[in-house]
Chain A
Amino acid sequence: MTRTVAITGVGAVSPLGVGARALHERWSAGRSGIEDGYGRASEFEPKEHLSIKEVRRADRFTQLALAATKEALEDAGWEDGPPGDPDRAACVIGTGIGGIGTLESQHIVMRDEGAERISPLSIPLLMANAASGVVAMKHDLRGQSFGTVSACAAGAHAIGMAERLIRYGDADVVVTGGSEAAITPLATAAFTKMDALSDSGISRPFDRRRDGFVMGEGAGILVLEDEEAARARGARILGYVRGYASTSDAHHLTAPEPTGRGAAKAIELALKDAGVEVDDVVYVNAHGTSTPLNDRSETNALKAVLGERAGQVPVSSTKSAIGHLLGAAGAVEAIATLLALRDRIAPPTLNYEEPDEGLDLDYVPNEARPLAAANGRAIGISNAFGFGGHNAVLCLEAK
């Protein structure tokens, strides 16, 4: 049995505001959510979205996931839990680091006040699977529930796994995505120490002057459903997860393989998984971190796969507007990709002014542009690559 995986709802909290539409519309309008070198989800006020108990029982990364889930389920038209059998409803949510804010604050408590004063909530708040556990508990998702951990590819891996769960018949609906809240003293200092963060505080993917990524936070959640079941309940279908693939560079702890070999393979396999050709791809949402290494190797990978069409397909980076949301990036950017394809618009790569040698794709500099469908279909890919050499690629189609 081959099942088709429909996307019936999306929700996002990002530096561009609370809401998936806010992300899409503000980015498309050329607005940036980055201030003072950070992409904070500053419009997110937990108590506006969650009960006192939920706020207390969740690290910020789980709070963000809960808020994004709330929007996604409303968007999908769910009421009081999943449609159909709750045992057939799954939950897969990725994160890069999990509850590092809780870990840091509790370590300070232990150092200054002693082990006796540690909160009994420490572990359940900081564990990387907390978001998937808490979301499943709140919304009565009784099928498979787990987190994915692959640094900045975690959100895309989660959606890929969710797609497989439905396609293989293990679940009928999956709440999936990624979440991250790692703008903390330790994480920031550590990324700084490895020279990964931008000194200028400007996210300018693919530009010659790019000097590292800008840290962001947020969450993106999608509701995936077996298309037949979604149609049977009269759900509105936003689009489809057509294909997914994942590879490993097997090269270096943090640096991408320079030729983009592993990334290219993941893109190629995702297109094959989707049953589409290179000619069908009308938009690429790049990983585009604004680091010297990623943007070059990713460009190499895209050239290798797109061949003659490289230079014709618009390629843009959401990170130019919101920074790098680490484990949430793949999910928030999948949502941005879907909405761009739906509205037939290629959002821009902001701050792109000076071309770099060899980086000569169509990066959609600074202004959004209409997107042409190919043979009536709007198909795009969303790339996510993570420290550890993890590459995850999604092939999405909008209705």
Chain B
Amino acid sequence: MSTTVTREEIEQRVFKALEEFGAEPDQINPDAEFESMDVDSLDLVELAQIVEDEYGVQLKGEDMEGVKTVRQAVDLVMSKLG
């Protein structure tokens, strides 16, 4: 596991995942709410799997509670890495 992973890299990876989930590219930004992008709890479970694969960080159901935006999700990953 690289310790030099940057916030931008994680954000870009989340953006890419959201696009794969079917979110409109022009709606995707750090402060966009998942709900407004039609990204639901099933998508977030997949997002958690991607994050674990890429960064070795485990996100459990309770970790994701209250996470509504891309920024909050990236913050969560950063705090787990830190």
Contact = CB atoms under 8 A, between A and B. Distances in A.
Interface of A: 51-54, 56, 117, 119-121, 124
A54 B21 CA distance: 9
Contacts of B38: 53
Contacts of B22: 51-54, 56
A121 B49 contact: no
Interface in B1-21: 20-21
A52 B46 CA distance: 15
A56 B22 CA distance: 8
Given A52-B21, A119-B46, A120-B42, 11 more contacts: A51-B22, A52-B20, A53-B21, A53-B38, A54-B22, A56-B21, A56-B22, A117-B49, A120-B45, A120-B46, A124-B42
Interface of B: 20-22, 38, 42, 45-46, 49
A117 B45 CA distance: 11
Contacts of A124: 42
Main secondary structure, interface of B, reads helix
Main secondary structure, interface of A, reads helix
A124 B40 CA distance: 14
Contacts of A53: 21-22, 38
Contacts of B46: 119-121
B42 A121 contact: yes
A54 B22 CA distance: 8
A134 to B, nearest CB: 13
A85 to B, nearest CB: 26
Contacts of B21: 52-53, 56
A120 B42 CA distance: 6
A259 to B, nearest CB: 50
Nearest to B49: A117
Contacts of A51: 22
A120 B22 CA distance: 16
A52 B49 CA distance: 20
B21 to A, nearest CB: 7
A52 B18 CA distance: 11
Contacts of B20: 52, 56
Nearest to A113: B53
A327 to B, nearest CB: 26
A296 B33 CA distance: 62
A53 B42 CA distance: 12
A365 to B, nearest CB: 48
A112 B49 CA distance: 16
19 contacts: A51-B22, A52-B20, A52-B21, A52-B22, A53-B21, A53-B22, A53-B38, A54-B22, A56-B20, A56-B21, A56-B22, A117-B49, A119-B46, A120-B42, A120-B45, A120-B46, A121-B42, A121-B46, A124-B42
Contacts of B49: 117
A6 B21 CA distance: 39
A164 B40 CA distance: 36
Nearest to B48: A120
Nearest to A118: B49
Contacts of A52: 20-22
What 4 A-B pairs have minimum CB-CB distances, sorted nearest first?
A53-B22, A52-B22, A120-B45, A120-B42
Contacts of A56: 20-22
Contacts of A117: 49
A56 B43 CA distance: 10
